[in-house]
Structure 1
Amino acid sequence: MFAEVLFLLYVGHLLADYPLQTDHQATHKAGPGRQGWTANGTHAAVHVAVCALLLTVGSLVLGWRLPVLPTLAVLVWIGTTHAVIDRRRLVAAWMRWARQPGFAAHGGAAHVDQTAHILALTLAALFLAA
């Protein structure tokens, strides 16, 4: 079940991060103030909604009996970690700590960002499959 859950969460992540993310969210989700937090929150909420939908479809099609509280915990985890990662401060801090200024200057932050998201999804899938 781990592989199927991870796959569905990853597809949900891709859908929410690319075709379902508005230009406004992409531009402002790391910004200061109410506008930044609203863009970030709505973007994270889309992730939660899409992942919840895909887990529901997976449960119906594959006959899973996902426990309610752990599933809700996973959805909260997905929304929270996505919002924190997309504020970009942790990604920038990681790249400074890892001494990657050249990588950061040439678009590396987007790769570190996506790797952090995949790690969070992997932990969620492990938790749900355990």
Structure 2
Amino acid sequence: MFADPTGGGATAFAAVFAALYAAHQVADHWVQTQHQADCKSEPGWAGRIACAAHVVTYTATAGIALTVLILATGLRLDPWGVAVGLAVSAVSHYIADRRTPLRRLAELLGKDPHWLARGGGMYALDQSWHTGWLFLAALFCAA
């Protein structure tokens, strides 16, 4: 996937993943408004709009992080790869934060309902879902 046989591609991937992961932490825990956090999984248009608003600020935070990375290091990334990577991140983030798809997947995999509801299970599944998709997003961005 990477054209640079000297390891530059792997270095770019590592830098991009670190930037996206840092942006994820900031956007999900600091940038997201309380209203977005409270309403993004609600049914209907109010929930969809709150989730979309969160994903917009989340994606903007990722874009800022990548811009800072590029300016600070001189890293060159293909704009189309970055666009695809950010789209992968945004779509997967929206799916997870609507909650129903993750809950259904967790139930299908036999996750304990008590752990999901009160043991931090949904948060753990949410964050691990995001991290896995950030890995794929970083591959696109750095390709």
Provide the TM-score with structure 2 as the length reference: 0.86
What is the Cα-based RMSD across aligned positions, in Å?
1.1
* Bigger radius of gyration: 2
Superposition pairs for residues 1-130 of structure 1, below 5 Å? 1-101=12-112, 102-105=114-117, 106-130=119-143
1:47 and 1:78 in contact (8 A); partners too? no
- Residues 12-21 or 89-98, more deviating: 89-98
Paired residues of 2:70 and 2:76 also in contact (CA < 8 A): yes
Structure 1 CA distance for aligned equivalents of residues 141 and 79 of structure 2: 10
- Gaps of at least 5 residues in structure 1 are none
Q: Distance in 2 between matches of 1:46 and 1:79?
A: 10
C-alpha distance after superposition, 1:32-87 (max 9, x if no partner): 12210111001000111000011111111111111111111111111111111101
Aligned length in residues: 130
Tell me the TM-score normalized by structure 1: 0.94
Cα distance in 2 for residues equivalent to 1:23 and 1:50: 17
Which blocks of at least 5 consecutive residues in structure 2 are unaligned? Answer: 1-11
**Percent of aligned pairs sharing the same letter:** 35
